[in-house]
Amino acid sequence: MSIVKIAGEKFKLASRWARLGAFLLDIGFLGFCQIILWLIGLLQSVIFTDFDEYMMFGDDPATTTFFVLSILLWMYGYFFMDGREDGGGFGKRLLSLKIVRLKDGEQANYKDAFVRRFAAIFQPIDWLFALGKGRQRMGDKLAKTVVIKLDSPQIEIVSEDEKIDKETDLEKILEDVILEITNRFSEAKQKVDASIGIEKQFQNAHDGAIAQAEKCEERAIIALKAERDDLAREDLAQRNEYRQIARRYKEQWEEQKKTVEHLTTLLDTLQQKTQQTQREREVVIAKHRNVDAQEHLQQTLSELQDNKAFEMLKKMGQNVSEAAALAKAASEVDIEFKDVKLHREFANYAEDESIDKELTELKEKLK
């Protein structure tokens, strides 16, 4: 099974025999259309014109028209039929084949179809190119197209290198996400710090206005002691102005303080999310690897057709068990044989000793 990757997706390449079959179906379809057209012309010649003039392509306009239509139909079918937007020629649609462009995976247009067909004049060199890895004829290479199979779903084959790249991409994506969150947290912290600075400015302005009001009141007391009521009046007026200013600063300060408290809460939440994302990064990567491992195991198990591998292992286990049993039986038989042989040797020794004893006793009697 050959695979081609087009515009980030993987498709199954059409087989050479399927492509040849589609081409023959196209030729047959065009031939059938030609026969129908010629039969129509023949019928009209029998009815309206002289048959001999029709066969000799005489001056009859209808005969000439049918002849021109036949030539145009053949040229369109041969050179441009595969450029149709509804999937190509009759044969390719019937066999679920499609001509697509390598650069974007879109259906080949009329220009691509003409280039592919025109290159066929260089036979058999044109078809020899189809023996290559990409199954591209010389016309396909010139038009930068390829023929794919449509009745099978898009195929996704992940090699070990692609799996590593996939995991690396996931890690990179997570790092980019964490980096983005960290950058936004830093920007938010800077803005919150700026808001806190504004709050401090309002507080300092309020405290400064209160201090000025107190100084004006002290000067008024001193003026009253010196019996300078005019100066005391001026100091009291300035004191009141500073108090009004302090009151306005206080309002702004309190409003800014509430804003800062709200922003600080949001900043704390964002910081917690950032820390949580950093902690869960390894967990997400581990889960992703577990999912990949599970998918790989399921795919491997599904490829074991009819459990042939397990049956083979079971059969081998039975053979090993049988061999072990035979070896054990043979060893037991050998041990029994050795025991019988040894018993016989001991019996012979005992019998010889008895005979020697009897021979000695007989000699003593003879003396």
Q: Does pLDDT of 191 surpass 60?
A: yes
The per-residue pLDDT for range 22-69, each reduced to its tens digit, is 888 888 888 888 788 777 777 766 665 555 554 554 455 666 776 777
At 317, the pLDDT band (50, 70, 90 cuts) reads low
Average confidence (pLDDT) over 84-92: 72
Taking only the tens place, the pLDDT of each residue in 165-179 is: 555 566 677 777 777
Average pLDDT over residues 218-247: 83
Architecture per CATH, domain 160-301, reads as Orthogonal Bundle (1.10)
When pLDDT is averaged across residues 192-208 and rounded to a whole number, the result is: 85
Sign of the CA dihedral 268, 273, 277, 280?
positive
pLDDT tens-digit series, residues 124-181? 777 777 777 777 788 788 888 888 887 654 444 444 444 455 555 666 777 777 777 7
User: What per-residue confidence (pLDDT) applies to 61?
Assistant: 63
Domain locations along the chain:
3-149, 160-301, 316-362
Residue 366 scores a pLDDT above 70: no
Rounded Cα distance, 134 and 15, in Å: 10
Element (H, E) at 14: none
Alpha carbon dihedral 181, 183, 189, 192, in 10-degree steps, equals -90
Tell me, what's the pLDDT at 36? Answer: 83
Range in 242-246, 273-277, 318-322 the model is least confident about: 318-322
User: Helices in the chain by DSSP H: which ranges?
Assistant: 16-48, 51-55, 61-79, 90-94, 110-118, 125-128, 138-143, 160-225, 229-302, 308-366
Residue 334: predicted pLDDT: 52
Q: Is the pLDDT of residue 212 over 80?
A: yes
| pLDDT at residue 217 in the model | 83
What one-character-per-residue DSSP string does 259-303 give?
HHHHHHHHHHHHHHHHHHHHHHHHHHHHHHHHHHHHHHHHHHHHT
* High-pLDDT (> 90) share of the chain, %: 0
pLDDT tens-digit profile of 335-360? Answer: 454 555 555 555 565 556 665 666 56
Using DSSP bridges, classify how beta strands 3-6 and 9-12 pair: parallel, antiparallel or unpaired. antiparallel
pLDDT band for position 241 (50/70/90)? confident
- Residue 308 pLDDT > 70: no
Tell which wins on pLDDT, 168 or 191: 191
